[in-house]
Structure 1
Amino acid sequence: MATAEFVTPPSWLRMPEEDARERVLSSRNRERVYRVIAALDQWRTMSVEQLEALVDIRKFASGERSLLSAMWNAGLVELCQMGAMFLPGERTRDGCLVRPAKPGRVLRDLEAQMSYVEWVSTTAGTRFDADRQFARHNILSTELGLRMAEFGNVGTVLGEKLSTMAMLAYAGVGDPVPTTGAKGGSDLTLVRTDGLRIAVEVTASAHGRWFYDKVEKLVRILHRRSLARTGLCVLFVVAPRRELASQAPREVLRKVKQDIQRAVRAYPGTHRDPTAARVAVASWTDLFPSGDSASVDLRRLPVERPTGPGYLGDSNATNVWEWAYYLDAGSVPFAPDRPEKMTAVLGNASGVRGVPHAVRHVAERPVLSDMVVKSAGFDVVGDVEGTKSLEHGRGAAGAPTVPARLVY
């Protein structure tokens, strides 16, 4: 559009394409670029402010030759600002929306220079793509993930790309993924310190058959896959648009509850593992009454579940829904079949650059270089006869260590 002279980019976004390519491929910017593309690949769309908070990068869009400008001119990201970024006048850069561009030449060049460990940490072992772009939906999901990572009693937080039902209900616990019944996924996943997974669906409306179909599919998976085996629960967070009527949030919440009750009746689970205890609903306005406030119980994540003594078939029954706290093991207990399998994600996710920085603190990350050695049939890296051990330093130098680019 700029070439056609329909719009004129602001001065801070003007940069020759070759200069931009050189900057994003520079080893000096390698870590920051990897973090940005990892976050966008996992969460899809976010504001500059959210991006800086998620990956712990300051002044990403500051200055006349910002890294954001370089990534945009190199074709790695797409930008948007409500009210038209390219109109005259200065605009707040923190509010710019950023999303991944369709994979192109520069992204392929970036991948070519990555070590295997860097590639895994940036992509979580999946391919780059630019699908599933729903700006408001993705921004709310990112915001919820950021707030829970900072203030919630969580072990880790995973973005949309790592929240598929195939991963959460099957592959993530070492089980084969069926050819049917495992498609789709959630917007993010909160993982408790004991490994309980809470797949979160952010919804603005619940009208039409499509929403019930989504609820039914998720409850059906809970019905088929036990809590002890998968650690999987589901949470619907109702976040209607502001421009709707003032009672709209409550109306949408009521409709979501009706559909959940209907699905739980159809797929109740077992007496010891009822689906009613594993599916819940929460209102965004209850969790966050205003832009700068939160529920006093946010750390424990207050939710409502259809576990009361009322009749599930009565959508007007007032005693079907009961309060619980998903992030409190005392309120929602979890006894996994294989505890070590459930908590392995905490260390594994700490090495993924697209995971919120606030929860990338677990030290027990897998050593991928050791895994490569083991796959080659060796237990250890042996010493050459007549040389000093690799485990000891020489003179003033310390013992050899794995290069940073090979550390997950």
Structure 2
Amino acid sequence: MAGAPPALYEGATGLLADARSSATAGLAAGERIDPFWSDFWPVGSKASWVNVHQMRRQVASGFARVPYWLNGNGTAALQRLHGHRLQETLAIVGALTVWQNMSAEQLAAVTGVARVATGRSALMTDLFHLGFVEVGVHADALRRTDRSARSNLYRLTRTGAIERTLYPLTSYAERLKVTAGVEEGAIGAGMHDRHGVVATELGLRIAETGSVAVMLGEHLGRVQDLISGGWHPSFDADAVALRGDGLRVAIELTASTSNVPAKLARWARLLASKPLRDSGLIVLFVTAENPNIDSSVSRNVRKRTFDAVRLAVRNTPGFPGNRTAERIGVIDWRDWYPSPGRVSPWAAALNVWFPSGPPDVPWEMRSLADPFDVEFSPRFDATAAIDNLGRCFGNPQWLRSGHRTVDPVAAHLAGLYGYAPTDLAPRVSNNGIPAGVIPPRQRW
């Protein structure tokens, strides 16, 4: 049928464990538990979460006992919060701020703190008892193994403990590496745990290919930060990749089609109003329907998303030189990772489909990693975002080196708001948050 979605990738594949990776040894994609193909979402898409306050109440009521790896003491944990451990804590809080919820292995990969990958590290136990993080586990009737703990999930709490306890110990520059200047308050994750973990895994795998300069999560994917002002703060992407020339790829991961048409219509209107040379923005939809559900209840997310992309660019085509069909791409997880432990050649090149061809054969494949295949000639300093964000703790640790700036904002911006980048945190205000913080919004 004319215009039908292209077939899934069916060519030769390689071992994911053999694929090139910039991640720390033992933490690469081929060595982590695969959150897409591994069936560890026994009930819907949620984990079972607990924070230190819930733990204390449940233990006091006799309802639960504390597992050995969560035994700890907040007072002792606070006494250890200095020196190298403080820097590791900042890296962890920064990663969870940007990616929102992560498995133990993913958190270790982004931060470079390898022992966190066990899911039972003393460092994470300390952060749990300090009230900084919550722990999520996958629960069903099966007995857990030693490897199971590596799939434990972490997210920040929303109790204010980070602002009260951690931030007063940090410098202005350190807080900027945690927050990227977006906001100081700790942001906990939402309710869709599978979505968050699979999106984080996708971002990590893209970063491991070496095809991008910066890779960041949902917290820094808001459109008003990507292109500045005029858009609702809830309009965001699940992840954002920055190519070396400053091209921004806003990534939308979808496992259902309930709101895909509305999202696409919104993105198409945005792209039509903001030419590529002025915004540097391309959108990629990645379909990731749970492959382990019964085929009889599949919602055929891939086909419906491809069809919705075609409809969106037809309804909002843009104008000559700024065709939305050349700026909204789509790919399925299985096109890049066709089966457990396998990877296709399309993944390293970031090959995706665009509906930019003629009506009878609309789908054309282009490589997002290739600046000659997806050209970008900006009329603004597109690489400034790489300098500003490259050192953020949410950026995977192997991508943080080699940037021109020392801190995630230019020194004159820090001076403009009253602090040199090396100044200690200012006096704590009545609400427990350091006074004099940067404004809640700064364009990348």
TM bracket, shorter-chain basis: 0.7 to 0.9
**What displacement does 1:4 show?**
2.1
User: Who is 2:61 aligned against?
Assistant: 4
Q: Distance in 2 between matches of 1:376 and 1:160?
A: 26
User: Who is 2:250 aligned against?
Assistant: 199
User: Who is 1:103 aligned against?
Assistant: 159
TM-score (norm 2): 0.75
User: Who is 2:49 aligned against?
Assistant: none
Matched-pair contact (CA < 8 Å) for 1:223–1:268 = yes
Matched-pair contact (CA < 8 Å) for 2:213–2:390 = no
Q: Deviations over 1:166-215 (max 9, x none)?
A: 111x22xxxxx11x5674100001111111111000000113xx321111
In 2 relative to 1, CA 205–61 (structure 1 residues): closer, same or farther, beyond 3 Å?
closer
In 2 relative to 1, CA 305–88 (structure 1 residues): closer, same or farther, beyond 3 Å?
closer
Seq. identity, % = 30
Compare 219-228 and 152-161 and name the one that shifted more: 152-161
Q: Deviations over 1:207-233 (max 9, x none)?
A: 3xx321111111110011110001100
Question: Rg larger in 1 or in 2?
Answer: 1
Q: What amino acid is the match of 1:323? A: M
Q: Distance in 2 between matches of 1:370 and 1:90?
A: 46
User: Who is 2:211 aligned against?
Assistant: 153
User: Who is 2:21 aligned against?
Assistant: none
Alignment length, in residue pairs?
364
Matched-pair contact (CA < 8 Å) for 1:45–1:134 = no
Matched-pair contact (CA < 8 Å) for 2:237–2:252 = yes
User: Who is 1:392 aligned against?
Assistant: none
Compare 231-240 and 353-362 and name the one that shifted more: 353-362
1:49 is aligned, of 83, 105, 113, to 105
Q: For the aligned residues, what is the CA RMSD?
A: 2.9
Q: How does 1:50-89 map to 2 (within 5 A)?
A: 50-60=106-116, 66-83=122-139
User: Who is 2:236 aligned against?
Assistant: 185
User: Who is 2:175 aligned against?
Assistant: 119
Q: Tell me, yes or no, if structure 1 residue 29 matches structure 2 residue 70.
A: no
User: Who is 1:13 aligned against?
Assistant: 70
Q: What amino acid is the match of 1:137? A: H
Q: Which runs of 5+ in 1 are unaligned?
A: 172-176, 311-316, 382-401
| Secondary structure in 2 matching 1:342 | coil
**What displacement does 1:113 show?**
1.5
**What displacement does 1:139 show?**
0.5
Matched-pair contact (CA < 8 Å) for 2:172–2:423 = no
| Secondary structure in 2 matching 1:193 | coil
Q: What amino acid is the match of 1:138? A: G
User: Who is 2:396 aligned against?
Assistant: 356
Q: Distance in 1 between matches of 2:130 and 2:99?
A: 21
| Secondary structure in 2 matching 1:304 | strand
Q: Which runs of 5+ in 2 are unaligned?
A: 1-57, 426-444
User: Who is 2:432 aligned against?
Assistant: none
Tell me which of the two structures has the higher relative contact order, counting C-alpha pairs closer than 8 angstroms and 6 or more residues apart: 2
Q: Distance in 1 between matches of 2:363 and 2:296?
A: 20
User: Who is 1:244 aligned against?
Assistant: 293
| Secondary structure in 2 matching 1:99 | strand
Q: How does 1:4-403 map to 2 (within 5 A)?
A: 4-23=61-80, 25-60=81-116, 66-83=122-139, 92-125=148-181, 126-127=183-184, 128-168=186-226, 170-171=227-228, 177-178=229-230, 180=231, 183-207=234-258, 210-246=259-295, 251-310=300-359, 319-338=361-380, 341-366=381-406, 370-371=411-412, 375=416
In 2 relative to 1, CA 66–182 (structure 1 residues): closer, same or farther, beyond 3 Å?
closer
| Secondary structure in 2 matching 1:31 | helix
Q: What amino acid is the match of 2:384? A: A
**What displacement does 1:33 show?**
0.2
Q: What amino acid is the match of 1:104? A: G
Q: Distance in 1 between matches of 2:118 and 2:278?
A: 47
**What displacement does 1:88 show?**
8.6
Q: Distance in 1 between matches of 2:79 and 2:401?
A: 32
Q: Distance in 2 between matches of 1:17 and 1:361?
A: 34
In 2 relative to 1, CA 134–21 (structure 1 residues): closer, same or farther, beyond 3 Å?
farther
Q: Distance in 2 between matches of 1:77 and 1:270?
A: 47
In 2 relative to 1, CA 272–96 (structure 1 residues): closer, same or farther, beyond 3 Å?
same
In 2 relative to 1, CA 62–276 (structure 1 residues): closer, same or farther, beyond 3 Å?
closer
Q: Distance in 1 between matches of 2:232 and 2:145?
A: 51
Compare 255-264 and 45-54 and name the one that shifted more: 255-264
**What displacement does 1:348 show?**
1.7
Matched-pair contact (CA < 8 Å) for 2:136–2:154 = yes
Q: What amino acid is the match of 1:230? A: S
| Secondary structure in 2 matching 1:201 | strand
In 2 relative to 1, CA 114–369 (structure 1 residues): closer, same or farther, beyond 3 Å?
farther
User: Who is 2:435 aligned against?
Assistant: none
Q: Distance in 2 between matches of 1:80 and 1:108?
A: 24
Q: Distance in 2 between matches of 1:58 and 1:131?
A: 23
TM-score (norm 1): 0.82
Q: What amino acid is the match of 1:98? A: Y
Matched-pair contact (CA < 8 Å) for 2:329–2:353 = yes
